[in-house]
Every structure is written in structure tokens, then in C-alpha cells.
Amino acid sequence: MGDIDMKIVILNGPNLNLLGKREPAIYGTRSMEQVLLDIQRAYPNVYFQYHQSNHEGDLIDWLQYYGGGRENVLEEEEYADVKGIILNAGGYTHTSVALRDAVVCSQVPVVEVHISNIAEREEFRRVSLLTDVCQHTIMGQGTDGYIHAVAWILRQINKANA
């Protein structure tokens, strides 16, 4: 990877492809492309792999691949050397036991991110099936939550290497 020191994966779930357009009063006006540019500018020595899907199975597959749960793909460069996963599971946060199980199997830290504060949203959004199996949760920070998640992962790596 040349000058790149490490790889962090960002996974977004359903409807996050509409970021910047969908309910801007809740989710803001910045597109994910803008968010990713800001993250890359802030951390030029980190390689970011980004995926978004409206399909639960895609998110589970990516968690397994990047989290090291599927031995047969670990040799593939795309899936190797991942130091952390940032996961905004969208609506699956509240419903997907299967996604929770994939997080449990991850061999790298998974940080849960929510743009809004789900604890202050509708009753059905207040429960996360992921929070207690993720290493860290960031919510209510807007799209800045993604950059905070990167910073958290890098702090953990620095602590481990100290």
C-alpha cells in the first residue's frame, strides 16, 4: 500500500446512500462523498475502503470479509490488513440479530456510528442490537461521527503499540 500506514473500512446500511438529501434536518446536508473527502484529507496515511448497501446480507458479508471471519478471502489484498471497521447499520441497528452476530465474529474493532442520537428518537429507534457488541459507539455527532470513529480507532492502535 506504499505510504499508507493502515486500512479502515466504513460500512453504511440502508438509506445512507441518500445522505445529504434524506431528512436534512436530522441527517444534515453533507453527502457521504463530502464526508469521505474530509476524512481522507484529515488522515492521508490511512486507506479507507467504503461500502454502502440497502441489503442486510451485503453488510454481513463485508463484516465477515473485512473482520477476518472468512479465511478463504484473507489472502486477497482488498480484505487484508484491516485495523478497524466503522459501521452505520441504519435501520438494521434496531432489527438485525444476524448483523449483530457478524459483529461478534469480527476479529478487528467495530465502531458503531449514528448520525442522529438514536436515544432521543422515536421509541422503536432507541434500542440498538449492536451497541453492546461493538467496541465503541458514537451517536448524535452528525456526519462528524465518522471522523470521530476514525480517531477512536487510531487511538486504540496507538495504545496497543505503546
CB atoms within 10 A of CB 96: 20
pLDDT the model gives residue 69: 65
Q: What is the band of 71 on the pLDDT scale with cuts at 50, 70, 90?
A: low
**Is 27 marked active-site?**
yes
Residue 95 lies in a domain: yes
Quick check: 160 pLDDT over 70?
yes
Of 47, 66, 92, 114, which is the active-site residue? 114
Taking only the tens place, the pLDDT of each residue in 127-145 is 899 999 999 999 999 999 9
Average per-residue pLDDT in the chain?
89
Q: How many domains does the chain have?
A: 1
Mean pLDDT, range 38-53, rounded to an integer: 96
**Is 136 marked active-site?**
no
pTM value is 0.89
Residue 1 lies in a domain: no
87 to each of 45, 63, 139, how far by Cα in Å?
21, 9, 12
CA distance 93 to 139: 12
Mean pLDDT, range 135-157, rounded to an integer: 96
Q: Range of 107's domain? A: 6-161
Enclosing H/E stretch for 103: helix 97-105
Three-state DSSP class for residue 139? strand
Rg (CA), the chain: 15
Quick check: 27 pLDDT over 80?
no
Quick check: 77 pLDDT over 80?
no
User: Domain of 111: which CATH number?
Assistant: 3.40.50.9100
Question: Are 85 and 6 within 8 A, CB to CB?
Answer: no
